[in-house]
Every structure is written in C-alpha cells, then in structure tokens.
Structure 1
Amino acid sequence: MPWRQNLASLGNRCMNSVRQPFRLLDASASSAQPKIAVFRAMHLGELLCTVPTLRALRAAMPNAHVTLIGLPWAASFARRFSGYIDAHVDFPGFPGLPGQSVDLPRIPSFIAAMQEQRFDCVLQIHGSGGLSNPLVRTFGAVRNAGFYRQGEYCPDPLHFMPWDENCHDILRLAQLMTFLGVPPASHELEFPVTEADRQALLASLPKPPAAGSYVCIHPGARLPAQRWPAADFARVADRLHAAGLQVLLVGSAQEATLAATVQRDMRMPALNLAGKLGVGAFAALLEQARLVVCNDTGIAHIAAALGIPSVALCYGSGLRRWAPLDRRRHRSVHVVTEDAAGQPGLVRERVLATVRALLEDTGMPLA
C-alpha cells in the first residue's frame, strides 16, 4: 500500500539521520534523561504484547525515564518489568474507553498531574486513538506519538501512523517503532519469574507435581463470549488425564466458580487451584508445565513468554490480532460460535488433534 511505502521511507530517513536519530523526541526537548510516558490502560495479555516495544525503547534510549500510564493493577506489571519501566501512574478511566471503570472526580487532578510531569513525549499505544488521542493531548507533553484511524483526527502526521485493524498487535507496535525511528527489537515476549514467585507457589502448593507431568487448564476469559464451554474443557481434560498428564485447573478468584464447574463435569480427578495463586506464583507453576490449554487470554501470552507449549481457543478476530507469534510452540484453534454450539464434539477433536501434534513437534509426545 502507498502509505506503508511512505511510512517506511520516513522511518528509514529518520533512522539514518545523524542529528536526530529518534523522531520519537522533539529535538528541542531532548535531554540527558528524556521523560517518556506510554499510555496503555489495558489488561495482562495486552501489556505483555507491549514488552517488545518497551524493550526497543530502552535499548534505543537507555537513559530515558519511562512512565507507564495504565490501570491500577499494572503497578505490579511495572515492578516486574522495572528494567523497562521506571514509574507507573494509575489511569482513572475516561468516558467512552471500554474495558475499565471510570472515576470521574479524579480525572481533572489526574490530567493536572500529567501536565506537571512535563513529559518530552507521550506514546499513545492504547488503541486507534478516537478517544485516547484527544485525551493524551491534554497531558501537555512536548511531543505526542502513536496511532490514528484514517479519516479521523490525526494530531501530528509526522508522529502518528494509521491504525491497521487487521495487523497483529505486536507487529503493529513494531511498525510504529520503525515509523518513529526506533530500531526494532525482537518480537519475543518475556515474563521474569523470581525466587519470590517460586516461594509463593510453594506456600500455596507445598508439594507441586513433577516438572513436565501436568497440564494447566484455564477455562476463564474476561469476556463471556470468548469462553469455550466448561463442559468441553472437562472432556478435553479427561482425555489428557487418560493420556498420562495430571490436570491442574487454574484461574483468578473471579474464575473459581467456572473452574469448579469444569472439575464437576470431569470424570477424572483434577487439582483445582483457581483463586489460590497470584500472577507470579501462577507463572512459577506454568514454567514447569508440559502444556497449557486455555482461551485466548493473557495466560496464553504468559505461556508464550515462558516458552511453554500452549493451545488457545480463539473466537472472532483473536487469532489474527492476538495469538502468540511462535506458531511452532503455540497453537490456536479458531472456534466458530455455531460449531461450538452445534458440533461440540468436532471442536473437541480439533483441540485434541492440535494438542497431540504440538507435543509431538516439541519433542514431548503424549503416551
């Protein structure tokens, strides 16, 4: 497409520039420690997809002070990725932005606090920019950059590139970095597991199963429309148990009832850990698993970051936009809603066939 060629040309000229190697910062605002804010008020999976971008920013500008403007829970994410993120600011939400609550009385003081920061640049990677671009402009940064939807408001054509709805999120963010003149990093995810995480796991599960002997089944998803039926997870879990894997049901406290439903529908025994592990302890459990079977959620991205084979059930555009990029170690099964309702056995067989092929290809075949 012509605009892609134009953007690539602009990015190449920027990267080859001696005077201003990174168009991300306005030349007049450059300093020994530039202040960059990244606006991405999203959940775990979406933030994990941001890690390659954060890694590229740190490599390109090692002295920059990077602030993540995100949901309150993301303070723990910022601490875990302290090599890339220096500070976290709670975003109070904003009317019209989906997937979050809105604390209206806090919005004026939040915007005032952002203006006091005097950021050199705010990077808007929350989405296509319909609401987020005008919001970010109120932060008063020297420079804003990010995405905009073609035909809609574009704050600055030199620093905002068109939003590609059909592009995978990690690749779209990499394109933005290239457009802004930041040398690309690898697309690999990462999730640091600490000794504290492993100790937290042992506190909840003093005798964990042997490494490679178990499968983690995660039946939850934030949106009900993205959840494969509990009864189908139960049937797959039974088959994996019969093939020699211990079944561990996992999820958040909000998903404990759903995991209990899967356990009740199973014919074989399972250990239900839903609601009993924090994110770090769960990652410590996951890093020793043989396999993960889940919906298209943040758990799939943790598995990808840890290099643990996974099979994810994807609905709608999830396969195209969010599935892990390493298709050898991580497989996705696209579920058509009509098939899930009308031919559940057919979908289950597709999942099991995908599991068997995945484990054979990664050198860990089922019995």
Structure 2
Amino acid sequence: MTTDATGLAPDLPGLGGQDAGTVLVLRALGLGDALTAVPALRGVRRAWPGRRVLLAAPEEVGGWLRDLGLVDGVVPAQGLAPLAWVEESEAVSGAPPSGHVAVNLHGSGPQSHRVLLDTAPEHVVAFASREAGVAGPGWDPDEHEVDRWCRLVTAAGGACSREDLRLDPPASRGRHVVVHPGAASGSRRWPADRFAAVARDLAVAGHDLVVTGGPDERDLGARVVADATASLAEATGATGAVTDTAGTLDLPALADVVASARLVVCGDTGVAHLATAFGTPSVVLFGPTPPSAWGPAIDPERHVVLWHGGDGASARPGGQPDGYRGDPHAVTLDPALDRVTVDEVVAAARALLAVAPRRA
C-alpha cells in the first residue's frame, strides 16, 4: 500500500495531536481473539506513544492485558453492546474523553464501527464500510487474523508484525503437559473420550497431565480425567499423574500453566493462542476454520496443526490446504475435526515431547 508524505495510507484520515489524549480500541471478544490482536495493540502504542490506550473488552481478558502493560485501562464491553465509559477505579466521568482516536480491532463493520462512532471520536481507524460511512483499507476475508489487524494499524502509522505476538516465557519449563478439551462451540470440540485416550497414552509414557477448562467446563474436565485415570489402572510400571484443574484457574493462573508446560494439546481455542504467544509447543486440532486463518503465526517448528478440511493433509503451520470452511459456531462436531484421530494426535505429541526440554 502506498503512503503520502505523512507516512499514512491515503485512505485513512489524518491523525494529528499524538502527544496527549486517548486511544479507544474495540476488541470485545474472547481470549484467542484478544491474543491475535496483541501485535496490533503494540502498533497502537507506536502510532500514538503519548496517548492513553483504553481497551473495550471483557473485563477479565482486558484486565490481564492491562496488567501485562499492553494497554492502560479497560472499558468493560461484551460484543456489540453500547460502551459504558466507566473504567475501573479511574472512571472516565461517565462520558468519552473529547478528541479521542477510536480503533476498531473487532470486525469489518458496520455494527462494530457504529459502536465506536457513538463515542464521538475525532478520528476512526477501521476497515472501510460504506454503510457506516467509514473510510479505510479493504477487508480481506481470507487473511490471517494476526496479519489483518497488523495491516490496519500499520496503515495508520503503527508498525507491527507477527513477531509482536510474543509474550515473555518463564525461565524454565515444567514437567507437565496441558490437555484442554473445551471450546466455545460444539463444532470445535473434539470428543472427550478421544482427549482422554490421548491423556492416558501420555500418562502411561510417564508424563504428568494437567487438564484445563473454564468454569462451565468442569464436567467436561472431570469426564476426561475420570476416563483417563480409569484406564491407567491397567497399565504396568510408573505412570504420570493426571490432574483436573477445569474451572479452578483464573486467566493469569491459566496463562502460567500454559507458559510453563512442555506441551499443549487442544482444539482451535484461546489456549492454543496462549501456547503460541509463550512459545509452548502445541498440537492444535482444527475443524470448521482453516489454520491458515487462525493457526499459529510464529515458530512453526514448535507447533503441529492437525486439520482435514482441505485435501485431508495434516501439517505444521504454513501451506495447509484451504478449500473448506465449516460453521465455527455450530452445535455439532464439525466433520473435518471428527476426522482427526487419536493415533495422529498421540504421534504428534510424542514427536514434540521428544525434542522439548524437560526441566523441573
């Protein structure tokens, strides 16, 4: 994309007054969505280094990103609901600050654009939407989620890239393997008995397993642990422990468990993006959404993506076959995810564990 003398793309508004004021960023989505936007948030800092950056997002996710120093404050938000300008202990007097810049990292518009337009910003950085009357770069539906938001913010003067995904990892890895059987929708949730079979195999090999899940996934976690440990009784010799933490970890604690793990096995969900950010090796199972759009965007040697949505191939990130898109919000298991077998997940996990350091 060409730029004018200011260094800005000609289809974006001029962005003056960068030494003071506020930048309001909308990303009122879940953990995985938030993590894919981390490079763009860093780009926002670079574009407006003197401004206070507020993130409109769910409180837990936004608060965690604030504590990491990626933003300065949180405007609690869910989806496309109107924004309530009350920012924790530092309230914004019930009204948006004047002259602020609004950055839409939520969607292509027009609905999300209008959520920000209702705050009366001085400037809007967003993808073009004729319906909302907003100018900007064009939306590419096939673009990787990380690249999409980097392109938008870079066009506004805030250089950022996939490398900005990285979060500081722990000094050393633990002994445990994370198994995360949950996902927000049934179409992206591999069957619990298959996760249990993978957990059993790794425990028999002597690996300690930690099963994770959200508050509404306690029953799922308990079922995976019960099935895995029941079959462990038939194993001979020493086996690893299988620990159920589903529903017991807040987001910072979950991040610590993933960051210190030797391996993560999960579906296309937020935990996979935590593994990418912390450089934790992972086996990620994809179904309705192609990994070329949401898969690990850095360190391909650390991650194995299993997907049978194109020509049936399974591969490390990069060059995965496209040609299939299911419904990521459907209730029933996606056919592409259903074709992923226990044997191939176990094989991928063993291969990564064979090269992953095992430090206490």
**TM-score under structure 1 length normalisation:** 0.77
Q: Distance in 2 between matches of 1:245 and 1:348?
A: 17
2:119 aligns to what SS in structure 1?
A: coil
Determine if contact 1:72/1:91 at 8 Å carries over to the other structure. yes
Say yes or no: does 1:274 pair with 2:246: yes
Letter in 2 for 1:243: A
Most deviating of 109-118 and 255-264: 109-118
1:175 aligns to what SS in structure 2?
A: helix
Partner of 1:239 in structure 2? Answer: 201
Partner of 2:345 in structure 1? Answer: 351
Aligned residues: 316
Say yes or no: does 1:259 pair with 2:246: no
Determine if contact 1:248/1:271 at 8 Å carries over to the other structure. yes
Task: Provide, for residues 9-31 of structure 1, a one-character-per-residue CA deviation record: whole Å limited to 9, x for no partner.
Answer: 1xxx24xx3xx34567735x414
Say yes or no: does 1:153 pair with 2:131: yes
- Which ranges of structure 2 fall in alignment gaps of 5 or more residues? 87-91, 233-240, 310-333
Say yes or no: does 1:79 pair with 2:63: no
The Cα shift of 1:110 comes to: 5.2
Mapping of residues 181-260 of structure 1, within 5 Å: 181-191=157-167, 211-260=173-222
Task: Provide, for residues 244-280 of structure 1, a one-character-per-residue CA deviation record: whole Å limited to 9, x for no partner.
Answer: 2111111122111101111122212511111222221
Closer/same/farther in 2, CA of residues 218 and 119 from structure 1, 3 Å limit? farther
Determine if contact 1:36/1:120 at 8 Å carries over to the other structure. yes
Determine if contact 1:191/1:305 at 8 Å carries over to the other structure. yes
Q: Distance in 1 between matches of 2:304 and 2:14?
A: 42
The Cα shift of 1:156 comes to: 3.5
Partner of 1:320 in structure 2? Answer: 292
- Which ranges of structure 1 fall in alignment gaps of 5 or more residues? 1-7, 95-101, 196-209
Closer/same/farther in 2, CA of residues 277 and 240 from structure 1, 3 Å limit? same
Determine if contact 1:68/1:85 at 8 Å carries over to the other structure. yes
Task: Provide, for residues 174-231 of structure 1, a one-character-per-residue CA deviation record: whole Å limited to 9, x for no partner.
Answer: 1112322322345342445799xxxxxxxxxxxxxx9542211010111122100000
**TM-score under structure 2 length normalisation:** 0.78
Q: Distance in 2 between matches of 1:175 and 1:169?
A: 10
Q: Distance in 2 between matches of 1:329 and 1:295?
A: 16
Determine if contact 1:114/1:139 at 8 Å carries over to the other structure. no
Task: Provide, for residues 286-332 of structure 1, a one-character-per-residue CA deviation record: whole Å limited to 9, x for no partner.
Answer: 23221110111111111111111011111112512211112211221
Of Structure 1 and Structure 2, which has the larger fraction of its residues in helix?
1
Determine if contact 2:58/2:78 at 8 Å carries over to the other structure. yes
Partner of 1:299 in structure 2? Answer: 271
Closer/same/farther in 2, CA of residues 22 and 190 from structure 1, 3 Å limit? same
Q: Distance in 2 between matches of 1:113 and 1:226?
A: 41
Q: Distance in 2 between matches of 1:108 and 1:181?
A: 26
Partner of 2:77 in structure 1? Answer: 91
Q: Distance in 2 between matches of 1:148 and 1:25?
A: 12
2:341 aligns to what SS in structure 1?
A: helix
Determine if contact 1:25/1:120 at 8 Å carries over to the other structure. no
Q: Which of 84, 97, 120 is the equivalent residue of 1:117?
A: 97
Closer/same/farther in 2, CA of residues 252 and 164 from structure 1, 3 Å limit? same
Closer/same/farther in 2, CA of residues 146 and 317 from structure 1, 3 Å limit? same
Determine if contact 2:162/2:297 at 8 Å carries over to the other structure. no
Say yes or no: does 1:62 pair with 2:34: no
Q: Distance in 1 between matches of 2:178 and 2:84?
A: 43
Determine if contact 2:59/2:76 at 8 Å carries over to the other structure. yes
Partner of 2:326 in structure 1? Answer: none
Say yes or no: does 1:180 pair with 2:156: yes
Q: Distance in 2 between matches of 1:88 and 1:31?
A: 20
Closer/same/farther in 2, CA of residues 275 and 116 from structure 1, 3 Å limit? closer
Q: Distance in 2 between matches of 1:47 and 1:319?
A: 17
Partner of 1:162 in structure 2? Answer: 138
Partner of 2:317 in structure 1? Answer: none
2:265 aligns to what SS in structure 1?
A: strand
Letter in 1 for 2:45: R
The Cα shift of 1:113 comes to: 7.0
RMSD: 2.9
Letter in 2 for 1:357: A
Q: Distance in 2 between matches of 1:363 and 1:77?
A: 28
Q: Distance in 2 between matches of 1:280 and 1:193?
A: 13
2:59 aligns to what SS in structure 1?
A: coil
2:127 aligns to what SS in structure 1?
A: strand
Determine if contact 2:36/2:145 at 8 Å carries over to the other structure. yes
Closer/same/farther in 2, CA of residues 137 and 211 from structure 1, 3 Å limit? closer
